[in-house]
Amino acid sequence: MTETSRLPAVRASYDAVAADYARLLRGVLEAAPLDRAMLDSFGEYVRGAGGRAVADLGCGPGRVTAYLDAIGVRAFGVDLSPAMVAVARRSYPGLRFEVGSMRALDVADGVLGGVLSWYSTAHTPPAELPFVFTEFARVLAPGGYALVAFEAGEGMRTLDHAYGHPVDLDVYRTPPDLVARSLAEAGLTETARLVRAPGPAEGGPQAFLLTRKAD
């Protein structure tokens, strides 16, 4: 799979905001018990399926990668933004972080126990989700799990300013049923879903889909 024309703008935007993004989102996960519950369940399923490594795709500054590590998951992070990866490496020097695209992962077929996409498809047009999820399925071992978190809803908005910096980002809200169908098309079957009400700083419902690759 090749990069879409928007990926360079996404990379440049996150390079610009990396340090402030990490600072402003510090502590967000600790205040979100339902989000943590989905991560905890994902981790338990991965450990129960053999404990293979997990790729946190679109890992940003590494805070969720570090959470997975803290609950006993062998996790590493991949992000499109070199600046985000640099922040993650400084913040969590004991963990592995790599620059890369979730559309074309430098990972062999069928070797991972899990794939985490924590809001990392926010800038992916819904029509392109099956292609992205096919890459997730490619790197998962049989019986592996993928957890996808995203903003539920419909429509796209363009951001020109975020985290104190100019950016150029298209942000998509996606219906959970559409995401579930796209995952199923890629060979990832829904195991569970959670849709929760928005928090104080969120613009709409938040969705979490846990899926499994067949044995």
What does the pLDDT average to over 176-203? 95
3 has pLDDT over 50: no
Structure confidence at residue 2 as a pLDDT band (50, 70, 90): very low
Return the pLDDT at 166: 92
- Cβ count near 77 (within 10 Å): 30
pLDDT in tens, 100-119: 999 999 999 999 999 999 99
Of the listed ranges 3-7, 47-51, 77-81, 132-136, the least confidently predicted one is: 3-7
Burial 50-76 (b: 16+ CB within 10 A, else e): eebbbbbbbbbbbbbbbbbbeeebbbb
Return the pLDDT at 113: 98
What does the pLDDT average to over 70-86? 98
Percent of the chain with pLDDT over 90: 91
Within the chain, residue ranges assigned H as helices are: 7-24, 33-48, 63-70, 82-91, 129-139, 176-185
In this structure, what token pair is assigned to residue 187?
A: 């060979």
pLDDT in tens, 31-43: 999 999 999 999 9
In the chain, what is the straight-line distance between the N-terminal and C-terminal CA atoms, in Å?
A: 25
Return the pLDDT at 188: 98
- Cβ count near 164 (within 10 Å): 12
Mean pLDDT, the chain, whole residue set: 95
Q: What is the C-alpha to C-alpha distance for residues 117 and 59, in angstroms, rounded to an integer?
A: 8
1 has pLDDT over 80: no
Return the pLDDT at 4: 58
What does the pLDDT average to over 155-163? 92
What does the pLDDT average to over 120-137? 96
Q: Assign 48 to helix, strand or coil.
A: helix
Q: What is the C-alpha to C-alpha distance for residues 195 and 133, in angstroms, rounded to an integer?
A: 20
Q: What is the C-alpha to C-alpha distance for residues 164 and 21, in angstroms, rounded to an integer?
A: 9
Query: What DSSP character marks residue 204?
Result: S
In this structure, what token pair is assigned to residue 195?
A: 């849709």
Return the pLDDT at 202: 86
Percent of the chain with pLDDT over 70: 98
Q: What is the C-alpha to C-alpha distance for residues 30 and 56, in angstroms, rounded to an integer?
A: 18
